[in-house]
Amino acid sequence: MQPFVPEKYLDRAIADGLIDFKGDGKTEKIIYVAWGSHTERWSDPEEKIRAEFYAELIYRYEYEAARVGVEVIVPRRTANDRADIVVFKDATCKEPFIVIECKRDGISDAEFNQAIEQACGNRSNLDSRFAGVVAGSTRRFLDFDKHPNLERQKNVIADLPVKYGSPPEWRFFRWVKGKDLSAVAREDLRGAIRKCHQTLWEGGKRSAIAAFGEFSKIIFVKIRDETNSKHVKGDPYQFQRRTQETNDELAKRIYQLYEIEKKNEPDVFTDRINVEANILAQVVEHIESISLSETDLDTKGVAFEEFMGGFFKGDFGQYFTPRELIAFAIHMLPPSSDDKVLDPACGSGGFLLYALDYIRDLATHSFPNYQDDIQESKAHYRYWHDFAAKNLFGIEINEELARVAKMNMIIHDDGHTNVIGHDALDFLGKIQEKRPELNDTVITRIYTNPPFGSVVKASEKGEDFLGQFQLRKYVSKSTTGTDPDDSAQAEGDSKRGAKNVKARASVKTEILFLERIHSFLKAGTGKAAVILPDGILTNASLQGVRDWLLEHFQILAVVSFPQFAFSHYDAGVKSSIVFLRKRKKHEKPDDNEAIFMAMADNIGYDATGRKTFVTTVLEEIPQDRKTELQHCDLFDYKVHYIWNSSNVKKPFWSEFRREVIPNTGIVGEYRKFEKNPKLFFV
């Protein structure tokens, strides 16, 4: 499916000769040809907002260009006081109808409210019916036909009227061309998220975590409104401001929608939305025009990570797996809609999110007309939503991070994911008390990056706790983390190739996770993608662990990552990703089983996090849109961009959507290997 790109009204105005430019760089000027060739400085950030909305008034709202004025003098005592845009009712431009103030995107709420007062003051002096402020995606329009000059809530309208008509009751309608929500580019979503954060933070009144919690509840309502399968084409979205709706009335509707959905998710949300009506109304205005469900996963991931900021990148940075490695794992071992997927160390939910996104793409390919056909729409929704509700599971030992993972899943389109806050190495019975599905008759896919280096000690957890694990007896002394390094003992253990007689008093977590993955997976068909430190694969002292691994799993593939793969996330352990299939109960290893092996040098980024993709431009329309192929050893991305000129001094290409190209890079080599499995190294 091609990404939706919002229409650029300004481009149409330029093509039709209504707007022109002269000069270059800092001296460049925009010329409003239809308004007496009025000229303004193009380097002003607010000018870009004005120019785009000026064009929108002409093409979307259908006002005659000659009646749309810019920099219109407002008759006041103050000399040269001007309104940014005025739409006139008459050909002589003597009867103002709409007065608009344009502000740069990202202004504070206080600045926005000040702009409202400025617009209303100009409206009063010009005696127009409508006033409004446009600041990027945040807009507010007011109708003074039946309301006094100082009214600021009851006269708020959903949108301006088209061609001197009446204001519409709603602004956005499901799947109606020109009136639907829009997917957005990465920088635009970042900007909207920043505004939401600023509004909810309330100048420090809330902590970062508290603000994120409230934001998650609000996004929960918006996502559910966008994806509600009961709505049909032409229905208005509920997550938007209705004409003549006060802050209290809007908030009441959002609160009610939340309470309805909360009943279906008692394990995710337990408290009410704790945001005052005026704050909630501002958040709605920031994001009501954006389609989160149609904005791609990677774009949302980057934008929301910025919202979570230091909270995630600081104390919890070690719980993050780079998205390139997650995408690689999912495409090497792709899930089907029937698979039951688990991440027993899910952190913030990255593997679960990408598995869900993969299934959503399958749904879109299976039902390509879902936006136009009601039956296909319902089938498309059920395809991915049922998977999210019934087939995705996560375990996270850190309760706070488990809560973040749940909210992260909600933000990225789903609130059903069965994430539990628990230690995945705990007794299986205790885990299954919380989620009975977490057993070896159900789980068919595991994607995980278990914690490295920590040690589980019998002295702290108890003898019975370590007694659950066979691998406790397959570890030589030098790998327990507490015993002295006895190299002679380690060499003897490795040569024996069998389990030690003596059970160890402490074992590293990554070793125990291998056995726990085995405990969760379905025999014969269950498969796993596990990121492991290379020590498990190479250290002589861990030969017993490798023997156990070969006895219980068929090793499908091993792909080695460079030393720096996790250094950007404060972890520098050399690691590989291992793909495994759990053997049947009495299945024995076969010496002829081929293992796919590969070494990835270019994984798409370097030690500092800088991108290292080799880029080829596939298609480009200058200053409009562009498609690139980005190559690394793992796979190739197809990346879609749109031109972003919001930075006056340095316009740039803004990423809109990225998708993994099937069967490229190491993923493509592995597909060949699957057809003809023999000794292989890339």
Q: How confident is the model at residue 601 (pLDDT cuts 50, 70, 90)?
A: very high
CB within 8 Å of 656: residues ≥ 6 apart: 3, 5, 183, 184, 185, 186, 296, 299, 625, 640, 641, 642
For 9-57, the pLDDT digits (tens) are: 898 999 999 999 998 878 899 999 999 999 999 988 899 999 999 999 9
Give the β-pairing of 506-508 and 455-457: antiparallel
For 406-427, the pLDDT digits (tens) are: 877 877 766 667 899 999 999 9
Are residues 624 and 617 in contact, defined by beta-carbon separation less than 8 angstroms? no
Integer Cα distance of 669 and 451 in angstroms = 29
Are residues 213 and 268 in contact, defined by beta-carbon separation less than 8 angstroms? no
Are residues 92 and 66 in contact, defined by beta-carbon separation less than 8 angstroms? no
Q: How confident is the model at residue 123 (pLDDT cuts 50, 70, 90)?
A: very high
Evaluate if residue 492 carries a pLDDT over 50: no
Beta strands in 78-209 (DSSP E): 82-88, 96-102, 130-135, 138-143, 156-157
pLDDT mean across residues, the chain = 87
Q: How confident is the model at residue 231 (pLDDT cuts 50, 70, 90)?
A: confident
Evaluate if residue 207 carries a pLDDT over 80: no
Are residues 530 and 576 in contact, defined by beta-carbon separation less than 8 angstroms? no
Evaluate if residue 663 carries a pLDDT over 50: yes
Using left for φ > 0, alpha for ψ between -120 and 50, and beta otherwise, residue 564 falls in alpha
The pLDDT of residue 484 is 37
Q: How confident is the model at residue 486 (pLDDT cuts 50, 70, 90)?
A: very low
Q: How confident is the model at residue 1 (pLDDT cuts 50, 70, 90)?
A: very low
Are residues 6 and 12 in contact, defined by beta-carbon separation less than 8 angstroms? no
Using left for φ > 0, alpha for ψ between -120 and 50, and beta otherwise, residue 75 falls in beta
Can you give the three-state secondary structure of 539-602, one letter per residue? CHHHHHHHHHHHHHEEEEEEEECCHHHHHHHCCCCCEEEEEEEECCCCCCCCCCCCCEEEECCC
Evaluate if residue 493 carries a pLDDT over 80: no
- Other beta carbons less than 10 A from residue 428's beta carbon: 16
Please compute the mean of the pLDDT values over residues 325-352 and round it to a whole number.
95
Evaluate if residue 223 carries a pLDDT over 80: yes
Number of H helices, E strands in the chain: 20, 24
Tokens of 123: 């409206």
Evaluate if residue 393 carries a pLDDT over 60: yes
Burial (CB < 10 A; 0-12, 13-18, 19+), residue 580, is: buried
- Other beta carbons less than 10 A from residue 386's beta carbon: 13
Domain positions in the chain are: 9-157, 171-294, 450-585+597-605, 614-671
Q: Is the dihedral of CA 358, 359, 360, 362 positive or negative?
A: positive
The pLDDT of residue 189 is 85
Tokens of 549: 């691994």
Using left for φ > 0, alpha for ψ between -120 and 50, and beta otherwise, residue 504 falls in beta
The pLDDT of residue 655 is 86
Evaluate if residue 575 carries a pLDDT over 60: yes
Percent of the chain with pLDDT over 90: 57
For 12-24, the pLDDT digits (tens) are: 999 999 999 998 8
Evaluate if residue 74 carries a pLDDT over 50: yes
Integer Cα distance of 113 and 374 in angstroms = 41
Please compute the mean of the pLDDT values over residues 620-644 and round it to a whole number.
92
For 170-196, the pLDDT digits (tens) are: 999 998 888 999 888 778 888 888 888
Integer Cα distance of 169 and 197 in angstroms = 28
Please compute the mean of the pLDDT values over residues 507-525 and round it to a whole number.
95
- Other beta carbons less than 10 A from residue 247's beta carbon: 19
Beta strands in 78-188 (DSSP E): 82-88, 96-102, 130-135, 138-143, 156-157
- Other beta carbons less than 10 A from residue 173's beta carbon: 19
Tokens of 31: 């010329």
Tokens of 432: 């299954």
For 244-282, the pLDDT digits (tens) are: 999 999 999 999 999 988 887 776 777 899 999 999 999
Integer Cα distance of 200 and 672 in angstroms = 51
- 3-class state of residue 181 by DSSP: coil
Are residues 406 and 392 in contact, defined by beta-carbon separation less than 8 angstroms? no
- 3-class state of residue 445 by DSSP: strand
Evaluate if residue 307 carries a pLDDT over 80: no
- Other beta carbons less than 10 A from residue 506's beta carbon: 19
The pLDDT of residue 480 is 45
Q: How confident is the model at residue 7 (pLDDT cuts 50, 70, 90)?
A: low
Q: Is the dihedral of CA 407, 408, 409, 411 positive or negative?
A: positive
Please compute the mean of the pLDDT values over residues 653-677 and round it to a whole number.
92
Are residues 654 and 641 in contact, defined by beta-carbon separation less than 8 angstroms? yes
Evaluate if residue 165 carries a pLDDT over 60: yes
Please compute the mean of the pLDDT values over residues 400-406 and round it to a whole number.
79
| Residue among 287, 268, 296, 219 nearest 405 (CA) | 268
Please compute the mean of the pLDDT values over residues 511-520 and round it to a whole number.
96
> 208-227 vs 297-313: helix axis angle to the nearest 10?
160
The pLDDT of residue 568 is 59
Q: How confident is the model at residue 654 (pLDDT cuts 50, 70, 90)?
A: confident
The pLDDT of residue 485 is 38
Evaluate if residue 497 carries a pLDDT over 60: no
The pLDDT of residue 284 is 96
Q: How confident is the model at residue 551 (pLDDT cuts 50, 70, 90)?
A: very high
- 3-class state of residue 652 by DSSP: strand
Percent of the chain with pLDDT over 70: 88
In terms of pTM, does the model score above 0.85? no
Evaluate if residue 319 carries a pLDDT over 90: no
CATH number for 9-157 (one of 3.40.50, 1.25.40, 1.10.3470, 3.90.1570): it is 3.90.1570
The b/e string for 369-381 (b: 16+ C-beta within 10 A; e otherwise) is ebbeeeebbeebb
Integer Cα distance of 364 and 644 in angstroms = 28
